[in-house]
Amino acid sequence: MDQTINFKEVTHTYQPDTPFAQNALNQVSLTIASGSFTAIIGHTGSGKSTLVQHINALLKPTMGEIEVSGRTITPATTNKNLKQLRKHVGMVFQFPEKQLFEETVIKDVMFGPKNYGASDQEARADAKQAMALVGLDEDLQEKSPFDLSGGQMRRVAIAGVLAMKPEILILDEPTAGLDPRGHKEIMDLAEDLHEHQGMTIILVTHQMDDVVDYASDVIVMDQGKIVKHGRPQEIFADPQWVYQMHLDLPSSAEFASRLITAGVPLKSVPLTIDKLADAIVEVVQGGHGHE
Amino acid sequence: MSNFLFGRYLPGNSWVHQMSPQSKLMLSFYFVVVIFFANNIWTYAALSVLILMVVLMSGVSIGYFLKGIRPLIWLIIFTVLLQILFSSGGHVYWHFGPFSVSDTSLINGGFIFIRFLLIIMISTVLTLTTTPLAIADGVQTVLRPLKKVHFPVDTLALMLSIALRFVPTLMDEMETILNAQRSRGVDFGSGSLRHRIQAAVPLLVPLFTGAINHAENLSTAMEARGFTDSEHRSKYRIYRWQRKDTISWAVFLLVGVLVLFIRKS
């Protein structure tokens, strides 16, 4: 099924008609391609979370419209009949472990499918599958989610979203507060869902290394607008501009740009460790070649 | 929760903003007492003029106050209806069983409506122009005499300011949890009563868990920084009585005396 997401001139104002009124999105138009792995970056308060919450109609536009898999969300859209859309678009919030509430892990993971009308049996099957997907042991099923470690709780919460079998998955800073290993596991899970389950992944993140390691497309936001939309190489090609946006470079690019300032003649700004190594090798060997 | 106005502070630098919190607190209380002495059109008119003056001097637009009234409108309508249907006396226009509508009851209903409006206005002025922490501070100052009878005024004020401090935090968290559960297919605010109560569980359990976590973290943080209850604590901000307070009190006291004179005896 086509999972293309289309924003047309979307504006969102928080608390309109009050002294607190604030334009969080300003005439945003964009297309997120079906099957892409799109990262959304931008400094705090640039409108990233507001943007993604429009995709499953948790927020409705103040002006403009959004098309998600054949459904159109307009300012007039009511809260009724949004279930199908929300089943289709899975949403993992920041610190999703905060949403856990059931007595046992399995019940919590079954909660989503059951809300969407699955029978007990179906929900249980979906839940087991989702738990396996995120790498949770079967013997955790009957434990209380509140007895688990932080990393495990997060995976239970993500399983709770995956059990609904969404086709679009939104991850809002899914690795915040995790240790390096937990971080890598969650990101690898996202990659696996993208590669093998064909999900469209939308990742809101501050980790530029994740952007270059996993994303195929990058959206840069600033003050409620989209300032750049392209491949990671295009986004990070201009370090000055990246710093102006109050963002960081990926660590290999930063390393490389420091080498360049120090006078090492690298030909391009490499975004991954491997490319960085290649570029350095090239300079070193090139140097020898001339002698 | 964009419609939520209660306890919301609007930054500003008006006359009302500059008054000391303890004086505003007592003045609001005094005003509410005076309202209950009003019993005819002239007394209500005097109080309405006074409150309009206060609103104008607070620099907050009137539309903002009307918004604050909206969530309470059903309570007001219900009370006014009770008053109209059940009060007796005067010329009866319509009656059915225990219900009757007379000219007195209509007038009384109108008065009750104005009374509600006045009370809501004065308390809205107070919360819109005073930060929650300043209010807690004001409560502490006002209750200070109770220290003589070993009432734990400081502890109470601390509890109050912590509670007020966490209102926005918990509201934010509620919003996030609401959104997270909505994304998992919960339909809040529709369906049968039974369904709605069931829908509250996935909201309340995480909310309470979060609140208890906050409490634990906060108490650890306070202890780590050497907080003890018994010490005499100094303050970063000290709110002193000012000339603006004296003038405001003079005006309010005058209106209070006026009300006593022109009320129907």
Residues of A in contact with B190 (CB under 8 A): 79-80
CB contact under 8 A, B2 and A15: yes
Q: Over the range A107-118, which residues count as b (16 or more CB within 10 Å of their CB) and which as e? A: bbbbbbbbbbeb
Stretches where chain A sits below pLDDT 70 are: 1, 19, 287-291
Nearest CB to B185; choose among A14, A101, A115 = A115
Looking at residue B68, what is its pLDDT?
Answer: 73
% chain B with pLDDT above 90: 44
Residues of A in contact with B182 (CB under 8 A): 58, 86
Query: Residue B37: how many CB atoms within 10 A of its CB?
Result: 12
Task: Determine the distance in angstroms separating the CA of B119 from the nearest CA of chain A, rounded to an integer.
Answer: 22
Task: Determine the distance in angstroms separating the CA of B220 from the nearest CA of chain A, rounded to an integer.
Answer: 20
Rg, chain B, Cα only: 23
Please indicate if any CB of chain A lies within 8 Å of the CB of B177.
Answer: yes
CB contact under 8 A, B202 and A99: yes
Looking at residue A37, what is its pLDDT?
Answer: 97
CB contact under 8 A, B179 and A14: no
With contact defined as beta carbons under 8 Å apart, do B190 and A119 qualify?
no
Q: CB-side exposure of A49: number of CA atoms within 13 Å? A: 14
Which helix (H) or strand (E) segment holds residue B95: the answer is strand B92-96
Task: Determine the distance in angstroms separating the CA of B193 from the nearest CA of chain A, rounded to an integer.
Answer: 17
Task: Determine the distance in angstroms separating the CA of B179 from the nearest CA of chain A, rounded to an integer.
Answer: 7
Q: What is the mean pLDDT of residues B136-149?
A: 89
CB contact under 8 A, B189 and A18: no
Which helix (H) or strand (E) segment holds residue B205: the answer is helix B193-224
Return the domain boundaries, chain B.
1-130+237-265, 154-234
Residues of B in contact with A112 (CB under 8 A): 184-185
Looking at residue B7, what is its pLDDT?
Answer: 57
Q: Over the range B96-113, which residues count as b (16 or more CB within 10 Å of their CB) and which as e? A: eeeebbbeebbbbbebbb
Strands A168-172 and A89-92: parallel
Say how far apart CA A271 and CA A249 lie, in whole Å.
9
A227: phi then psi, degrees, rounded to nearest 5:
-100, -20
Phi-psi region of A78 (alpha: psi -120 to 50; beta: other; left: phi over 0): beta
**Closest chain A residue to B191, measured at CA:** A80
With contact defined as beta carbons under 8 Å apart, do B154 and B52 qualify?
no
Measure the CA angle with vertex A32, ends A26 and A37; round to 5°. 125
Looking at residue A147, what is its pLDDT?
Answer: 93
Higher pLDDT, B229 or B201: B201
CB contact under 8 A, A80 and B183: no
Please indicate if any CB of chain A lies within 8 Å of the CB of B189.
Answer: yes
pTM: 0.78
Looking at residue A269, what is its pLDDT?
Answer: 79
Query: Residue B23: how many CB atoms within 10 A of its CB?
Result: 21
Residue B48 CB burial class (10 angstroms; 0-12, 13-18, ≥19): middle
CB contact under 8 A, B185 and A86: yes
Task: Determine the distance in angstroms separating the CA of B169 from the nearest CA of chain A, rounded to an integer.
Answer: 14
State how far the alpha carbon of A43 is from the alpha carbons of A27, A163, A206, A226, A243, in Å: 19, 31, 8, 12, 11
Residues of B in contact with A83 (CB under 8 A): 185, 187
Looking at residue A288, what is its pLDDT?
Answer: 55
Residues 117-176 of B with CB under 8 A from A: 173, 176
Identify the bridge partners of residue A49 per DSSP, sorted by sequence position: none
**Least confident window among A142-156, B13-27, B80-94, B198-212:** B80-94
CB contact under 8 A, A87 and B186: no
CB contact under 8 A, A98 and B180: yes
Looking at residue A290, what is its pLDDT?
Answer: 47
Looking at residue B230, what is its pLDDT?
Answer: 63
With contact defined as beta carbons under 8 Å apart, do A41 and A221 qualify?
yes
- Tell me if ipTM is over 0.90: no
Query: Which domains are seen in chain A, by residue range?
Result: 5-237 (3.40.50.300), 250-291 (no CATH)
Nearest CB to A19; choose among B10, B189, B202 = B10
Residues of A in contact with B205 (CB under 8 A): 101
Looking at residue A291, what is its pLDDT?
Answer: 41
Query: Per-residue pLDDT tens for B2-51?
Result: 445 455 788 889 999 999 999 999 999 999 999 999 989 999 999 999 99
CB contact under 8 A, B206 and A96: no
Say how far apart CA B265 and CA B262 lie, in whole Å.
8
